C-alpha cells in the first residue's frame, strides 16, 4: 500500500508598508553591541509622542505664541521651545532611520509597483526599562 503525501504551501505572510509601520511603532527596538550587551531599548511610538523635556511640543503653535506673550523673559522661553523641538527632530530622524532599515531587511523582491514586506520575527516584547 502506497501513501502519497501532498503538501500545499501557503504563501508567506506579507505586509504593506502601512501594516509594517503599525507593527514597528508598537514593538520595542533594541540596540546591541557586537560583543553582546544591550545598549538601549525604546518603543518608536514613545519617541513619536514625546512632548519633550518641558512639554512644549504637545500643542506647539498655541504654546509658543501664548508663552512668548505671558512671560517676563520671552527669549529664555523660546530657547526652551527650540531645545524641545531639536530633541524631537532627533527622535523623529531616529525612528525614520530604524524603520527604513527594517523595511530594507524585510522587502520582498517583486515586479509589482506595490512594495510588500515579510512578516518580521517578533521576539521579546517587554517594555523598555
**How does pLDDT run across 43-87, given as a tens digit for each residue?**
888 888 877 777 776 677 777 878 878 888 888 988 988 898 899
CA 124, CA 13: separation in Å to the nearest integer? 20
What lies within 8 Å, CB to CB, of 13 at 6+ separation is 118, 119
Q: What is the pTM of this model?
A: 0.67
What are the pLDDT digits (tens) for 26-55? 999 888 877 877 778 888 888 888 777 777
The share of the chain scoring above pLDDT 70, in percent, equals 83
d(CA 121, CA 128): 18
Amino acid at each position: 500500500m502506497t501513501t502519497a503525501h501532498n503538501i500545499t504551501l501557503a504563501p508567506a505572510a506579507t505586509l504593506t508598508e502601512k501594516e509594517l509601520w503599525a507593527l514597528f511603532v508598537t514593538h520595542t527596538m533594541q540596540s546591541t553591541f557586537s560583543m553582546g550587551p544591550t545598549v538601549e531599548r525604546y518603543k518608536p511610538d514613545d519617541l513619536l509622542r514625546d512632548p519633550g523635556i518641558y512639554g512644549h511640543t504637545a500643542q506647539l503653535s498655541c504654546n509658543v505664541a501664548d508663552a512668548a506673550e505671558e512671560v517676563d523673559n520671552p527669549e529664555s522661553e523660546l530657547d526652551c521651545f527650540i531645545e524641545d523641538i531639536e530633541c524631537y527632530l532627533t527622535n523623529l530622524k531616529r525612528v525614520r532611520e530604524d524603520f527604513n532599515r527594517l523595511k530594507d531587511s524585510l522587502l520582498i523582491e517583486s515586479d509589482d509597483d506595490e512594495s510588500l514586506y515579510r512578516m518580521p520575527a517578533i521576539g521579546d516584547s517587554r517594555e523598555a526599562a
